[in-house]
A = this chain, B = another copy of it.
C-alpha cells in the first residue's frame, strides 16, 4: 500500500565479518482480509533483543557508514566468534520482539475493521519498523486514550513472570526463588508474587538492588545479597521459611544454580522432610531462562537425585498453556500496564538513532530495571 517514507531496520552479519544495522525503505504490503497495519510508536529494546542487534559487535569499533546506499551502523565481529553466527551469516534479519502503535489500515473483515484507530499491543518480531502488518486476532487493544508507550512492553516480561507462576503451579511448588531479581522483569515478578500471595526469595548482587525490592514490599529477610558473607545460611533460612523448591535463574553460568539446590536440600532437612539414600524426596528444580553469565554451569553432588536443572523459555511455555490461557495472560498484562507491569524507560529514541554509534553504545549497556524505548514514527 502507499505509505510515504516507511522504513525498517535490518541486522546482518556479513560474509566478511562485519555486523551491519541498516535502516532501509519499507514497501508496506496491503493488509489481507483479517490483517491490520500498525503504525509503530513504542518498541522497547529488551535484553533479549540485544542478542540479534549487537551481540556480534565489537563495540569499540562501531561507526557510521553507508551500506548498499542505506545509512548504517557498522562494527567488526571478532573472527574467533564468527562460528557462533554461522547460521545468520549473509542474512538480512529484521528485529524487535514486541511493541505498540496505532492501527492505520485494516482488511475487510469485521475483526480487522473494529481495530481501526485503536492503539494495540503486539508481539511477533520485526517491530523495529515504521509499520507492521499483523493478524487482527494477534492485536490486543489498550483502553481508549491510553498512549502506545503503556503498551510497549506488555508481552516479553509480563508474560514471562506470569509463566513462572503457571509453571510453579503446574509442577506442584508453592514458592519461588529468583536471581538477578532487581531487573525490570524481577520487579514485575516481585509485585505479582505479592499480589498473589506467593512467597518469593529474591537474590540480588548489591545493597542498592536489595532496596529496590524491599521498597516494593518484599520482606527484608527474603531479599538476599549474594555478595554478603552470610548469603548461604540466610538463603537456607529463607528457603526453609518459604518452602521454595523452584528457582528461576537469569544468570546460567557458574555455581548459582548449585547454591540454590544445595540450600534447598539443607532447607528440606530443617523442614523435617523425608530422606532416602538419594537425598530429600522433595523434587528441587532450577530453570535457567537467561545467560548473564555464559560460562559453564557447575552442579555439585550434594543434593541426591530428586532435582532438575534446565532451560525455560516463553515460546514453548505458551504453546503448552494454550491460546485461551495466553489471551487471559495478555488481558491481565494490559489491565496491569500501569501497576504490576509498569516499565520505566531511560530514553526515547528514533529508528535513525538506533544506528547512531553514540546512542547504540549507550543502549548496548543493559541498564537494570529500566530500558530504552524506540519510537519508529519520530
Contact = CB atoms under 8 A, between A and B. Distances in A.
Interface of A: 48, 51-52, 87, 252-253, 258, 275-278, 281, 283, 285, 288-289, 291, 294-301, 304-313, 315-316
A315 B306 CA distance: 11
A309 B308 contact: yes
Contacts of A306: 311, 313, 316
A339 B297 CA distance: 42
Contacts of A253: 301
A277 B315 CA distance: 12
A258 B296 CA distance: 10
A301 B294 contact: yes
Contacts of A297: 298-301
A277 B51 contact: yes
Contacts of A296: 258, 298-301
8 contacts: A258-B296, A288-B305, A297-B300, A298-B298, A305-B312, A305-B313, A307-B311, A309-B310
Nearest to A49: B277
A-B residue pairs, 4 tightest by C-beta = A308-B310, A305-B311, A297-B299, A294-B301
B308 A278 contact: no
Nearest to A93: B277
Nearest to A269: B87
Contacts of A289: 305
A276 B315 contact: yes
A310 B297 CA distance: 13
A85 B91 CA distance: 59
B275 A87 contact: yes
A284 to B, nearest CB: 9
A315 to B, nearest CB: 7
A289 B277 CA distance: 13
Contacts of A295: 301
A162 to B, nearest CB: 18
Given A253-B301, A306-B313, 15 more contacts: A285-B310, A288-B305, A294-B301, A296-B298, A296-B300, A296-B301, A297-B299, A299-B299, A299-B309, A304-B311, A307-B310, A307-B311, A308-B309, A309-B309, A310-B310
Contacts of A252: 301
A103 B278 CA distance: 31
A288 B288 CA distance: 18
Contacts of A281: 315-316
Contact of A308 (B52, B258, B300, B308): B308
A313 B278 contact: yes
A278 B314 CA distance: 11
A283 B305 CA distance: 21
A300 B311 CA distance: 12
Contacts of A87: 275
Contacts of A309: 299, 308-310
A306 B317 CA distance: 11
Contacts of A48: 277
Contacts of A288: 305
Given A252-B301, A301-B252, A305-B288, A277 B310 contact: no
